[in-house]
Amino acid sequence: MERSSKLSKMGLDAPRPPAAPPQQPCGSRADPGSGRGVRSMGKVNMRLLLVEDDAMLGRAMKAGLGQDQHATDWVRTAGEAQAAWIVPAPETVPYEAVIVDVGLPDGSGVDLIRAARARHLKTPVLIVTARDRIADRIRGLDAGADDYMVKPIDLDELAARLRAIGRRAQGRADEQQACGDLSIDTTGKVVTLRGERVSLSLSEYAVLVALMRRPGAIVSRDQLIEAIYGWDETTDSNTIEVYVSRLRQKIGRSTIETQRGLGYRIVAPAAP
């Protein structure tokens, strides 16, 4: 494909809702479902950390991942990666996967992975490096990496490997997040309400997933923004409010509660 060949040609080895009766918070359940009456939401949307010191390759990978609707933070040193991933600020939304190079200007990507695993971080890790020796691969995987790719890379293969390690991290090949009659197939990116498909934009879908991944908990506006965008993305001050409003129109106004001054919480949809 065109975007993949470009990387290879570079030669880079290197208002508040009305009152509603008390409702139950959401939960999650494994359920493969029949797939009837639903529509695929499109490509996977993950929050990623890319650790790559090569400027040209880093820009190309970030752009390619963006085409797949991934929100990617790109850092170029082990120190920056540690601050973003291993010892992040309390309000930081966790990454769903980390892509890391081995050779970094201030340390080793392998040592970075070891440090993350020593802190019991279970974030899936994909090593992308020019080091192709079997011994290097064994060292990286034994340090705690989930997969290993050798540069130059194919972006379609990278996307497939990210999907695979994401499924393995969930502990199953298929999973549904359920909130009463509202459910999301997080593998197929499919949303249903009382068995009927719900058509959402990618951004609306990302907000809904972020809420349903923390059942019964309040999710702040900043956490929702971080779940959708990378650090260097810009957004209007009312972006999240707009998406929440659109979601309420589609899944029920009382389904997403506003906790004033704190954020939002999702509850089971009211009976029709």
Among residues 148, 170, 192, which one ends one of the domains?
A: 170
Q: What is the pLDDT of residue 104?
A: 96
**Contacts with 238 (C-beta within 8 Å, 6 or more apart), sequence order:** none
DSSP 147-172: EEEESSPPHHHHHHHHHHHHHHHHTS
Residue at 10 is within a domain: no
One pLDDT digit (tens) per residue for the chain, 272 residues: 445 444 543 434 334 444 444 445 554 433 333 333 233 333 346 889 999 999 999 999 999 998 887 889 999 999 999 999 999 887 777 888 999 999 999 999 999 999 999 999 989 999 999 999 999 999 999 999 999 999 999 988 998 899 888 777 765 444 567 888 898 887 677 899 998 999 988 888 888 988 887 777 888 888 888 777 654 455 655 888 999 999 999 999 989 999 988 899 998 877 66
CA angle 98, 103, 107 (to 5 degrees): 85
> Which two tokens mark 13?
């080895």
Q: What is the pLDDT of residue 119?
A: 93
Residue at 138 is within a domain: yes
Task: Look at the chain and report how many structural domains it folds into.
Answer: 2
Q: What is the pLDDT of residue 45?
A: 66
Q: What is the pLDDT of residue 35?
A: 35
Q: What is the pLDDT of residue 236?
A: 59
* Greatest CA separation for the chain: 63
**Contacts with 248 (C-beta within 8 Å, 6 or more apart), sequence order:** 17, 255, 256
Q: What is the pLDDT of residue 157?
A: 92
| 110 and 69 housed in the same domain | yes
Q: What is the pLDDT of residue 54?
A: 95
| 152 and 202 housed in the same domain | no
Do you find a cis peptide bond into 152, omega within 30 degrees of 0?
yes
| 189 and 254 housed in the same domain | yes
- Taking Cα atoms as reference points, which of 49, 140, 133, 145 lies closest to residue 98? 49
Exposed / middle / buried, residue 87 (Cβ in 10 Å: 0-12, 13-18, 19+): exposed
Contact 99, 153 (CB under 8 A): no
Contact 97, 123 (CB under 8 A): yes
| 180 and 141 housed in the same domain | no
Among residues 110, 144, 170, which one ends one of the domains?
A: 170
> Given CA atoms 166, 172, 174, 179 in this order, what sign does their dihedral have?
negative
d(CA 155, CA 152): 10
> Which two tokens mark 218?
């309040």
Q: What is the pLDDT of residue 97?
A: 94
Q: What is the pLDDT of residue 89?
A: 80
| 143 and 231 housed in the same domain | no
Among residues 129, 155, 170, which one ends one of the domains?
A: 170
CATH number of the domain that residue 33 is part of: 1.10.10.10
Backbone angles phi, psi at 38, to 5 degrees: -130, 165
Residue at 5 is within a domain: no
| 94 and 209 housed in the same domain | no
Containing domain of residue 73, as a range? 47-170
d(CA 51, CA 74): 6
Contact 250, 201 (CB under 8 A): no
